Chains A and B, each alone.
Chain A
Amino acid sequence: MSKIVELINVFALLSLLAVGGGTAVLPQMKHETVQTHHWVTDTQFAEIYSLGQLAPGPNMTCVMLIGYEVSGVAGLIAVLIAFFFPACLLCYFVSKVWDAARGSPWRDAVQRGMAPIVIGLMLAGCYALGKTASYNPARDWEFNLLTLAIGAAVAVLLSVTRINPALTIVGGGVAGYFLLGS
């Protein structure tokens, strides 16, 4: 039971910290769930995040699988509610009064000021995931070269074509099966 309460505390706070979308909260989430609480390993965290890319809908819904790892179905439901409810409630009430601030030049200042912070956080999230998913010190250089190449190939493919992002993730799995095995 106390684990459920801890899960709710951590994910409710993360919900309210998720400025500029869920991805910006990734480095903090990894720190809380891997380093602080030891709920999942580095590798599990990266894998759970990538499962989120395979399913439709908001890709951060995958956080509920961390709850499942910790406390089964009850943990899954607790995290799902804790991660979505606080931010939704805040949005519900703030969006009601937001129109009063319409036309204030400070709104623009908030948006332009927060944008680089969000990008910095997203890059930190990339780095936090990549530290194990793209470059794993426990593996030899050939293996790491291949995982880095898979990531680079996906980034290039998405930049030059209009391919469905979920397909590139499936492609990564296929590449893993044929290139990284044995």
Chain B
Amino acid sequence: MNESAAPPVSLGRIFRVFALIGVTSFGGGIVAYLRHALVEKEKWLDEDRFMAALEISQTLPGLNSTNMSVIVGRQLRGAAGALVAVLGMVLPGAAILTALGFAYVALRHDPKVAVILTGVAAAAVGLLLQVTLKIGWKQLIRPKDLLLVIVVFVLVGIFHISLPVTLVTLAPVAIWMNRPGAEKEAA
């Protein structure tokens, strides 16, 4: 692969760019922030390479945001670049969460704080449900996929089958159902 001839980006710059993404992104819409910063503003990747990196990030385990940081950081400055990119992505939010967490532990038994936390948790369920439906609607309207969604939900959600067992048994089946040429054979 041809790396560009431009001078290498400094580690400090990588950290600052990812920290800015980390501190401005809220509520899971992190891909949009990444695209804006990395493709449009810094021009570190073109659209194709961004999509390729995103594809790997979504397929591998781990958070999409930190996987993207690893891949882009590595492409810019190798292992050190990957490290500072992940630190930039995670540390600002972690610092704010540490402060929130200390306040939470100190105050959660206060009845006024307890009802606020109950409202916050009730709202978070609504947020998670909306995000799930937004990314999952394609799967929910394909009968073959919907069946798998229901099976996974019942196994893990109702019967508490462990995640490793679920993945080891269902992932090969799911991948085989979508194997190359499967659609044509069925047609």
Contact = CB atoms under 8 A, between A and B. Distances in A.
Interface of A: 13, 15-23, 25, 27-28, 31, 35, 43-44, 46-62, 64-65, 68-69, 76, 80, 84, 87-88, 90-92, 94-96, 98-99, 102, 105-117, 119-130, 132-134, 146-148, 150-155, 158-159, 164-166, 168-177, 179-181
23 contacts: A21-B63, A27-B160, A50-B123, A53-B26, A56-B92, A57-B92, A57-B93, A64-B97, A84-B66, A91-B70, A106-B179, A111-B58, A114-B174, A116-B148, A117-B170, A119-B132, A119-B136, A132-B121, A133-B125, A146-B122, A155-B126, A165-B127, A168-B127
Contacts of A169: 27, 120, 123-124, 127
Given A119-B136, A147-B122, A173 B160 contact: no
Nearest to A73: B98
Contacts of A152: 126
A59 B56 contact: no
B128 A126 contact: yes
A95 B152 contact: no
Contacts of A76: 98, 101
Nearest to A181: B115
A96 B60 CA distance: 13
In terms of DSSP, what is the predominant structure of the interface of chain A? helix
Contacts, number: 356
Nearest to B79: A92
B171 interface: yes
Interface in B103-128: 104-105, 108, 111-112, 115-128
Contacts of B45: none
Interface stretch (B4-12, B36-44, B82-90): B82-90
Interface of B: 1, 22-30, 52-53, 55-67, 70-71, 74, 79, 82, 86, 89-90, 92-94, 96-98, 100-101, 104-105, 108, 111-112, 115-136, 138-140, 142, 145-146, 148-153, 156-157, 160, 162-164, 166-167, 170-171, 174-182
A170 B172 CA distance: 41
Contacts of A116: 139, 142, 145-146, 148-149, 152, 174
In terms of DSSP, what is the predominant structure of the interface of chain B? helix
A152 B28 CA distance: 19
B180 to A, nearest CB: 3
A50 B97 CA distance: 11
A56 B123 contact: no
Contacts of B79: 92
A146 B122 CA distance: 9
B156 A58 contact: no
Given A90-B60, A165-B127, A176-B116, 20 more contacts: A22-B62, A25-B163, A50-B120, A56-B23, A57-B96, A58-B66, A91-B66, A95-B74, A109-B178, A111-B59, A113-B175, A114-B171, A119-B145, A125-B128, A151-B122, A153-B126, A155-B126, A169-B27, A180-B115, A181-B111
Given A151-B129, A173-B123, A164 B26 contact: yes
